[in-house]
Amino acid sequence: MNKIHKCKDLNIFVYVEDTDFQGIVYHANYLKYFERARSSCLRDLHISQSQQIKEGKVFIIKTIKIDFINPAKIEDRLFVTSEIEYSSDVRLFFHQQIKRIESDDIICRGKVEVCFYDQHKNKPVAFPENLLEVFKNE
């Protein structure tokens, strides 16, 4: 069985800029909310993406699957849950979900496959050791 790491939830407030003319969150913004939660999780694990970039290594998305369930609306208070599933030293899956705080309604769910890429070698490589260490302790 693959190991799972639960990240801290990320709270989101829906601003007018996040919505279309009807006050409904534009679908692409859910991907941004997911990205913010993944970045926050890495930061909480003391992984600096800016440092990795300086070293020529970047996190890349291989696949994203998203299921839209209920629309989020202007002024909603949402939270993003994220769990990292260890698949191998070169492949992780983020299982993410956005919910409305007041009602606990599920807005959408996503599964994001992430790899780590060395721009100098022009190929995928193992994730940083401090990230992999999380799964050795789970």
Residues 6 or more apart whose CB falls under 8 angstroms from that of 3 comprise 85, 86, 135, 138
Which residue out of 9, 18, 20, 76 is catalytically annotated?
20
Asked if 20 is an active-site residue, the reply is yes
Measured in whole angstroms, the distance separating CA 64 from the mean position of its chain's CA atoms is: 10
Helices marked H in 45-128: 49-54
Instruction: Specify whether the CB–CB gap between 45 and 131 falls below 8 A.
Output: yes
Torsion-angle region of 56 (φ positive above 0: left; ψ -120 to 50: alpha; else: beta) = left
What is the C-alpha separation between 138 and 84, in angstroms, rounded?
11
Active site residues: 20
